[in-house]
A and B are shown apart, each in its own frame.
Chain A
Amino acid sequence: MGDISVGQIFLAAVLSNNFVLAMFLGLCPFLGVSGQLKTAAPMGAATTFVMLVASLCAYGLNWLVVHFDLEFLRLISYIVVIASAVQLVEMVLKKYSPALFRALGIYLPLITTNCAVLGVALFQTAREYSFAQSITFAAGAGAGFTLALVLMAGLRERLHLSKVPNVVQGTALSLMLAGMLSLAFMGFAGLGAGE
């Protein structure tokens, strides 16, 4: 798909094909870390960052794997290299930018094997995106993830103040909320499709 514009890819990844609400990727952190706005935003930023790293790695690896005709090693190399790259970046950050590390650091190990991250790598490969398209896709996916996380955190903070029946509390309620958000995001479908 070499002919889809970069802007379209970005918009689709953020809104109409939102990673969390339309593709069900990265639900574990979405349900786990969306309790407070304070943690949601840095988590989103950290995930976006890891997605960009993963997208870069995957683009390079895919070229290698295709070049040497080793498609059957694609998955295993993606997961190993992405995990190592994130670890490496974490160490570098710790040494050279302690402030940034403190902001993102605690989230990094959590996200390494998040399915949204591997999802970015796998989808960009499946759709045969070019380099620029891949990076945009990763940025869009990260932005979409952050948006969903922040929206959800806002909703859940409000809910703390309201009286909720015992039975519905916990994950069941979060899922219902996510369903409503997802319903709202469906309104974005068709974006960028026109002429």
Chain B
Amino acid sequence: MAIPGQKQLTHMEEFMEGIWKQNPVFVMVLGMCPVLAVSVSAVNALSMGVATTFVLVCSTLLVSLIRKVVPKEVRIATYIVIIATFVTIVDYLIQAISLKLYDALGAFIQLIVVNCIILGRAEAHASKNPPLRTVVNAMGMGLGFTIGLFALGSVREILGAGKLFGVSLFGPDFQPWVVMVLPPGGFFVLGTWLLLFNWLKQRKPAAAQPVEAHVHG
């Protein structure tokens, strides 16, 4: 986001934006529906993250490329059409790669269309920045989203099934917390992660300050 009078971010900083400072899951709390719904296992969470990143990178790239041609009045409509296109493409790619994965993710692949992160990025970033910068930022955001999903998915799989990536961790005597892979568990685990983030932020205000100052220049 190039605000006038502010130093342009370097590409590295642009990339890190999405991973830490503006992490879509933990900081901005955006696109929660797929986050909670598919994070019952680490594999599902990672696949969903990768699919979303793909759509995010491709559609913001295209938006950035045509940003000077599209009239202001129809820009949102254009973005939606572009995003829907890439989601359809991902939908077919996943079906071609693995049907099992496709069944596990269910309707949530198609629901990437309405993930607020993507439209938000297209509108707030891609429509104002050159392609390279956009792609770097989108990759950061996508990675940040994937990390968030993975953090949730792995915790839920470990607690709820006693496994990680389908490999049993604690042996047969472990009594899984089934509730963790059920809907309430999604809310609880995400709530706990946010709590942890809040706590870290409040605990180290002194340590966080210089970093902030450095990034903004």
A contact set with B: CB distance below 8 Å: 21-28, 31, 72-73, 75-76, 79-80, 83, 113-115, 117-119, 122-123, 126, 166-176, 178-180, 182-183, 186
Contact = CB atoms under 8 A, between A and B. Distances in A.
Given A115-B114, A171-B29, A179-B188, A22 B80 contact: no
B30 to A, nearest CB: 8
B186 interface: yes
A118 B187 contact: no
Contacts, number: 113
B: interface residue count bin: 35 or more
Contact of B183 (A22, A26, A80, A168): A22
Interface in B95-131: 107, 110-111, 113-116, 119
B184 interface: yes
Given A79-B80, A176-B187, A182-B187, 7 more contacts: A76-B84, A79-B113, A83-B80, A115-B114, A122-B107, A166-B202, A167-B198
CB-based closest 9 A-B pairs: A179-B187, A175-B191, A172-B194, A24-B37, A76-B84, A182-B184, A27-B32, A183-B184, A24-B36
Interface of B: 29-30, 32-34, 36-37, 77, 80-81, 84-85, 87-88, 91-92, 107, 110-111, 113-116, 119, 179, 182-188, 190-192, 194-195, 198-199, 202
Nearest to B31: A28
Contacts of A22: 183
A35 B2 CA distance: 33
A141 B93 CA distance: 30
A172 B190 CA distance: 8
6 contacts: A24-B34, A25-B33, A79-B114, A168-B198, A172-B194, A175-B187
Interface of B is mostly: helix
A119 B107 contact: yes
Given A175-B187, A179-B184, A170 B198 contact: yes
A122 B114 CA distance: 12
B187 A172 contact: no
Given A26-B33, A31-B32, A75-B91, A182 B183 contact: yes
A80 B88 contact: no
Nearest to A72: B88
A113 B114 contact: yes
B138 to A, nearest CB: 19
Contact of B187 (A26, A79, A178): A178
A190 to B, nearest CB: 14
Contact of A115 (B33, B84, B194): B33
A130 to B, nearest CB: 19
Contact of A186 (B29, B183, B190, B199): B183
B191 A179 contact: yes
Contacts of B198: 167-170, 172
